[in-house]
Chain A
């Protein structure tokens, strides 16, 4: 029996690649984007769930492929698609004319509308017309956002995430919230102090985004979608997630009565609605730890490597700047000025999304390393320069007069003295770099800050999770703060240092 099992494993292993097809179905989405699209399972934060996860898995199965999820910031999903980080985008992407100019869309897989939400006691708001002179919140750069902007006399507030607008509505900073129906269903409806009002507003279609020219894949996906809608699997997904309603029934032309209970929606409501006592809270926070540690490891790895790059490159730049002939120092200085004079965020975007258009494509980790390393090299170069210039010129002359070459003088006389001056600012920079590494989440890396966003948006808990993440950063930085203090002390005095031995 055992033997046969072992044998069948081997067979599976051998034919597996043929079963799945050669190419995985690589899909991009933002797991911080929230429910019900794709989000961390509140019951088990190491798991990513959502109706789009189910959809992609069903599609992949139809296409005999293996689904492979690739995380990316929502804003950057299309650039990431074009630089081939993944082949499709499935993340509540509305089919719009603007986007059609940039990418190819599959047939729509879900059709929905905008939903207005107000506080329970609000009586006089039922439509966009009623929102005159009111403050209305929505998601940045969404269809709802454009609809609101198009209306006169509405004060629009746009948000990055979907939790905060509903919180602000509850706290009376907003009078209403306009969001895609699925979002309202998951973030507005569960809140007992809020209610959804009015008729469906507008109509929007979610499509799967592909690179322009990728028509063969689009064709395959459309065929698979069609099969899923005919065999009822698509409807099943929407029913389980509580998203089945008249609009989608019309679209799929399926008006038969509901067959399946909204199990996923209920599980979600249960998970977020649980009132925990402190013991359970501790237990819940403890369950975040594996994820946070994973993020922390990425943060530390990236920061350390980037610092190594910055320290070495910075030294090179400084030496070029101080000791080479004509045009080189100018180049080095320009590098430092540009490096320090432009935002790191822009540099990261540029390296990750712009360079591929001239044929340079880095892995996300490498791109982050290059971005942080190059940026901090500029700062380190400036530190070194200040350190070296602080050494009186006569030290160099004294070394030269003894027959040393310029390089020997630098290595044995100047740099060892400059290091004393340089170490404190360099260790300080490392602490900044550690914190700046949080920016790399914009180029698809999942590090500590990204994990924070994911956990917080899953549990409505910016506070507890925030404290945990802050503590993690603090703990990571602590050794370097201590090192900086120590270095400052150790290097600050020669005069009081006693002779080590008397001969």
Chain B
């Protein structure tokens, strides 16, 4: 579903991604872990073109992305097929929850407003926010905002969902309500790629875990193996406090 081949990216001559290779199977929940500043967010943002990578190629949602003439055209297509959820939600503060969700399908996919609103209500029901349809984002708790943001991404009917530390800015008590939604999606067969520091979640919910350090994937394995007998020394060191 996603294949990343030898991906390179640097900022101002400073290499951040140094040849990332990673394969993500469809319908699986894959978790990316690794120390702070190693390029996890950068990798995720390269997948939907919020950052432009320098070299390598990406196969994602049936699109082959590489540095060619159609790069920008392809990015737009990818974005309609791949949803993204941010650490700080980034809801549109001037729109109600419902409007946050229906705008993109109406504008981008030319969906009928009526159909879009019906779909939005179904999604809000799914993430447990059906009673907050006409609230503004600032009237919601962090957990509610993140669930609304997930519903917003789902409204484009994506094949894949990307999450960049979806629970990191939440109070501990609000984390589970978001993770529950992700598990629910997992059960429905959604392909999900999650960058997180939440090891408990990685261990419980992931099908596969990738460990990234210093711009490279050092190890990919199942949670059991990763948390019991990691093969790389650096992985072991990173996970020491969690094992």
Contacts and interface: CB of A to CB of B under 8 A. Distances in A.
B73 to A, nearest CB: 11
A401 B50 contact: yes
Among B94, B134, B136, the one with the most A-chain Cβ atoms within 10 Å of its Cβ is B94
B138 interface: yes
A410 B80 CA distance: 18
Contact of A494 (B50, B86, B93, B131): B93
B90 to A, nearest CB: 4
B243 interface: no
B92 A401 contact: no
Given A412-B107, A499-B96, A494 B76 contact: no
B134 A501 contact: yes
Given A403-B76, A403-B80, A417 B108 contact: no
Interface string A383-410: 0000000000011011111111100100
A500 interface: yes
A367 B216 CA distance: 64
A398 B80 contact: no
A397 B152 CA distance: 14
A216 B22 CA distance: 91
A502 interface: yes
Given A495-B138, A497-B136, A500-B134, A408 B107 contact: yes
B94 A494 contact: yes
B96 A417 contact: no
B156 interface: yes
A495 B136 contact: yes
B88 interface: yes
B96 A398 contact: no
Contacts of B109: 403
B108 A401 contact: no
Given A394-B90, A408-B108, A413-B92, A402 B136 contact: no
A420 interface: yes
B139 interface: yes
Contacts of B88: 394
Interface string B70-111: 000000100110011010101111101000000110011100
Given A397-B50, A413-B92, A494-B93, A403 B134 contact: no
A416 interface: yes
Contacts of A171: none
B76 A402 contact: no
Nearest to A494: B136
Given A398-B92, A494-B93, A494-B94, A403 B136 contact: no
B46 interface: no
Contact of A495 (B83, B108, B134, B139): B139
B79 A402 contact: yes
B178 interface: no
B181 interface: no
B139 A502 contact: no
Interface in B29-59: 48, 50
B76 A417 contact: no
Contact of A400 (B50, B92, B134): B50
Contacts of B152: 402
B150 interface: no
Contacts of A398: 86, 90-92
Contacts of A397: 50, 86, 90
A503 interface: yes
A403 B90 contact: no
Contacts of A420: 94
A284 B103 CA distance: 62
Nearest to A393: B90
Contact of A499 (B76, B91, B135, B156): B135
8 contacts: A394-B90, A398-B91, A400-B79, A402-B79, A402-B152, A403-B79, A404-B108, A417-B92
Interface of A: 394-395, 397-405, 408, 412-413, 416-417, 420, 494-495, 497, 499-503
Interface of B: 48, 50, 76, 79-80, 83-84, 86, 88, 90-94, 96, 103-104, 107-109, 121, 131, 133-139, 152-153, 156
- 10 closest pairs, A vs B, by CB? A402-B104, A398-B90, A499-B134, A403-B80, A495-B138, A403-B79, A403-B108, A401-B84, A394-B90, A503-B133
